[in-house]
């Protein structure tokens, strides 16, 4: 198996940490190397406790991530997983179900995690370390049982509905499971959404911080585990070519796009209560905003990086309703296939006012970006699947072309999905006897230079959590600053109805008008 190379700053850990004690029933004695082929140190001894063992996130994302980490020799031999859920199951039943799901990933090349073959050694390593525990998340019995089974290093992963985040942390704290002894850690990974608005985020932060220290909480956004997202920092700060022009004197505006061709699929009930704005903007899109907008951190230290992210979000002005657009997809054709309207999807209200598309114009009050508009858009059932950041530069105004031919605006595209790479649109001379300008493009794709096996973005984040590196996780002040930016919009959108747009289009007309008022247009959606 090709090694998955985790790019993360490594915090010094206690090399003598005791192996975590956990139930070993059915353990398969498969041994892997202590280091990956790249020399990356394996994670310390640890038990991973997953609340929500029967859920989609566990099956579709966490298990493939653990499989990749095992195949890369980054998990300790004493690593163990305890899965907790209310469904009836057994150790062997849970293992068999997850094995079936892993095998299904070999059959769909379009899936988020696709591999032509499951490595039996890597999956055997994970499979043999799985233990299932039936129980209700808020009943004390499950925590008493965990207390009997656990010692040493533990990561509690809350892969559950957000309404359980606070109660589960309360039970963990009240049962003493979050107390850390010398040389041991107890950490909690909390999925998004962390709150539904500024008020609820503050309440949840206050609630969990009564039970443990801020350093023990790892608020996760798997967007930051994607290699191409992390690579933005390298492109910006490791190349003298870009940083001098990465500012208002040269940049006209910036577009951040996360477009999907899929609909809500079977997640209608979730989406009805969430919508595109809450689901994507204050988390995924703001992560991309921070990667391109922050000031250079003084180091790659976790707190230095997180300080800059929090500082930037505090400089983003709250979005007034006039600087936003929302839409909801109707019926139409996506890539040659007829699809139904959002209101006809399962578990969606026939008169739903939930937005499936959101676009916002942001302004940042600092010396680097003053006067540069940031346009963010996200939506479902659009013309193409595309996640990218585009820096559109100001037109050249110096001689010899000033006042004659007008060169096209240079555009730097940082491509994240489905293409991973970078593209630069430039002007060059068209061959011929006269000086005539024409557009050209220079580009590269990551897979032309780097070998990377299938991954889901959680590999780096799980590894970092076990290593104690919080660089790619969200701090309380950042979370609250993010919600503060969109809070006025959430209040305004509680009323009214989103504008309909045809499935397979670029979105609602109101999104075009948002840029049109500034004399600009969205870049076309494209996948190459």
pLDDT interval class at 146 (50, 70, 90): very high
Nearest Cα residue to 3 out of 42, 31, 29, 30: 42
Tell me the mean pLDDT in the region 329-356. Answer: 96
> For 247-276, what is the mean pLDDT?
94
Q: Which of 113-122, 143-152, 230-239 has maximum average pLDDT?
A: 143-152
Q: Which of 169, 191, 213 is the last residue of a domain?
A: 191
9 in a structural domain? no
* Confidence bin at 417 (pLDDT 50/70/90): confident
| pLDDT in the model for residue 20 | 36
Task: Using alpha carbons, list the distances in angstroms from residue 518 to 29, 99, 152, 265.
Answer: 64, 53, 58, 35
Percent above pLDDT 90 for the chain: 76
Confidence of residue 231 (pLDDT cuts 50, 70, 90): confident
Whether the per-residue pLDDT at 409 is higher than 50: the answer is: yes
Q: Looking at the domain assignment, is residue 525 inside a domain?
A: no
Residue 6 has pLDDT above 70, yes or no: no
**What does the alpha-carbon distance between residue 413 and residue 388 come to, in Å, rounded to a whole number?**
7
Which residue, among 471, 451, 450, has the nearest Cα to 461 in the 3D structure? 471
CA distance 493 to 388: 26
Lowest mean pLDDT among 28-32, 240-244, 457-461: 28-32
pLDDT at 38: 54
Give the integer Cα–Cα distance in Å for 478 and 313. Answer: 7
Asked if residue 491 and residue 377 are part of one domain, the reply reads yes
Average pLDDT over residues 416-439: 89
Shared domain check, 485 and 413: yes
pLDDT score recorded for residue 25: 36
Q: For residue 142, how many other CB atoms are within 10 A of its CB?
A: 20
pLDDT of residue 314 exceeding 50 = yes
Q: Tell me the pLDDT band of 230, cut-offs 50, 70 and 90.
A: confident
Is 7 in the active site? Answer: no
CATH number (domain holding residue 66): 3.40.50.720
Residues 73, 80, 222, 284: which is the catalytic one?
A: 284
In a domain, 239, yes or no: yes
In the predicted model, is pLDDT for residue 404 greater than 90?
no
527 located within any domain: no
Closest CA to 156 of 122, 189, 191, 197: 189
459 is a domain residue: no
CB-based contacts of 357, cutoff 8 Å, min separation 6? 276, 325, 326, 327, 328, 329, 377, 378, 379, 380, 382, 498, 501, 507, 508, 511
Count of CB atoms within 10 A of residue 346's CB? 10
pLDDT at 429: 87
Are 94 and 162 within one domain?
A: yes
- What does the pLDDT average to over 148-172? 96
Whether residue 23 is predicted with pLDDT greater than 80 in this model: the reply is: no
127 assigned to some structural domain: yes
Within a domain: 33: no
Q: Is the pLDDT of residue 107 over 90?
A: no
- The predicted model gives 26-55 an average pLDDT of 72
Looking at 340-475, which runs of residues are DSSP E strands? Answer: 357-362, 374-379, 386-393, 411-417, 421-429, 437-445
Which of 165, 191, 217 lies at the terminal end of a domain, its last residue?
A: 191
Most confident of 17-26, 68-77, 412-421: 68-77
Same domain, 257 and 162: no
Considering the domain architecture, whether residues 171 and 305 belong to the same structural domain is answered as no
| Residue 18 is assigned to a structural domain of this protein | no
Residues 54/89, Cβ–Cβ less than 8 Å: yes
In the chain, the number of structural domains is: 2
Same domain, 182 and 245: no
Task: Report how far apart, in Å, the C-alpha atoms of 509 and of each of 33, 325, 499 are.
Answer: 56, 9, 8
Q: Which of 149, 175, 191 is the last residue of a domain?
A: 191
Helices (H), 316-360: none
My answer on whether 274 and 341 are in the same domain is yes
CB 374 within 8 A of CB 256: yes
**Do 261 and 180 belong to one domain?**
no
Distance of alpha carbon 196 from alpha carbon 162, whole angstroms: 9
**Which pLDDT does position 381 carry in this prediction?**
97
- Residues sharing a CB contact under 8 Å with residue 366, sequence separation 6 or more, in sequence order: 312, 315
pLDDT at residue 266, rounded to an integer = 83
User: What average pLDDT score do residues 410-439 get?
Assistant: 90
Q: Cβ(253)–Cβ(521) under 8 Å?
A: no
Q: Are residues 276 and 424 in the same domain?
A: yes
84 burial (CB, 10 Å; 0-12 / 13-18 / 19+) is buried
Q: What's the domain range around 178?
A: 47-191
Q: For residue 502, what pLDDT is reported?
A: 98
Return the CATH number at 378.
3.30.360.10
In 3D space, the residue among 34, 149, 10, 28 whose CA is nearest the CA of residue 84 turns out to be: 149
């Amino acid at each position: 198996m090709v090694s998955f190379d985790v790019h993360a700053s490594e915090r010094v850990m206690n090399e003598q940490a005791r192996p975590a004690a956990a139930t070993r029933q059915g353990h398969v004695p498969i041994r892997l190397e202590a280091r990956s082929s790249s020399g990356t140190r394996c994670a310390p001894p640890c038990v991973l406790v997953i609340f929500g063992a029967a859920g989609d996130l566990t099956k579709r994302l966490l298990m493939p991530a653990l499989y990749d980490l095992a195949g890369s020799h980054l998990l300790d031999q004493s690593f163990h997983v305890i899965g907790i859920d209310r469904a009836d199951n057994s150790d062997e039943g849970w293992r068999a179900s997850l094995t079936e799901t892993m095998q299904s990933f070999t059959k769909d090349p379009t899936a988020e995690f696709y591999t032509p073959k499951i490595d039996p050694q890597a999956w055997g390593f994970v499979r043999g370390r799985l233990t299932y525990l039936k129980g209700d998340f808020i009943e004390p019995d499950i925590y008493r049982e965990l207390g009997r089974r656990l010692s040493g290093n533990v990561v509690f992963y809350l892969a559950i509905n957000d309404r359980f985040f606070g109660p589960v942390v309360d039970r963990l704290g009240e049962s003493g499971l979050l107390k850390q002894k010398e040389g041991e850690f107890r950490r909690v990974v909390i999925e998004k959404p962390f709150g539904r608005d500024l008020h609820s985020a503050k309440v949840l932060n206050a609630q969990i911080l009564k039970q443990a220290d801020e350093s023990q909480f790892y608020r996760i956004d798997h967007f930051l585990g994607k290699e191409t997202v992390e690579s933005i920092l390298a492109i910006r700060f490791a190349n003298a070519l870009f940083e001098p022009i990465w500012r208002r004197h040269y940049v006209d505006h910036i577009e951040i796009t996360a477009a999907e061709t899929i609909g809500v699929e079977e997640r209608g009930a979730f989406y009805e209560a969430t919508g595109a704005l809450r689901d994507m903007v204050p988390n995924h899109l703001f992560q991309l905003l921070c990667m391109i907008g922050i000031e250079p951190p003084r180091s790659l230290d976790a707190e230095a990086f997180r300080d800059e992210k929090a500082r930037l979000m505090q400089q983003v002005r709250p979005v007034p309703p006039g600087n936003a657009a929302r839409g909801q997809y109707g019926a139409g054709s996506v890539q040659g296939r007829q699809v139904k309207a959002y209101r006809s999807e399962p578990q969606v209200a026939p008169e739903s006012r939930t937005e499936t598309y959101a676009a916002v114009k942001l302004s940042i009050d600092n010396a680097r970006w003053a006067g540069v508009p940031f346009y963010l858009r996200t939506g479902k059932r659009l013309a193409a699947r595309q996640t990218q950041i585009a820096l559109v530069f100001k037109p050249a105004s110096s001689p010899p072309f000033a006042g004659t031919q007008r060169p096209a605006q240079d555009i730097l595209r940082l491509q994240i999905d489905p293409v991973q790479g970078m593209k630069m649109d430039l002007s060059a001379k068209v061959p011929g006897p006269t000086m005539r300008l024409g557009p050209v493009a220079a580009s590269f794709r990551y897979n032309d230079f780097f070998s990377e096996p299938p991954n889901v973005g959680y590999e780096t984040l799980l590894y970092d959590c076990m290593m104690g590196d919080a660089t790619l996780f969200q701090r309380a002040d950042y979370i609250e600053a993010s919600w503060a930016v969109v809070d006025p919009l959430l209040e305004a959108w509680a009323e009214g109805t989103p504008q309909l747009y045809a499935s397979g289009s670029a979105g609602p007309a109101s999104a075009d008008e948002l840029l049109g008022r500034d004399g600009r247009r969205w870049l076309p959606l494209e996948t190459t």
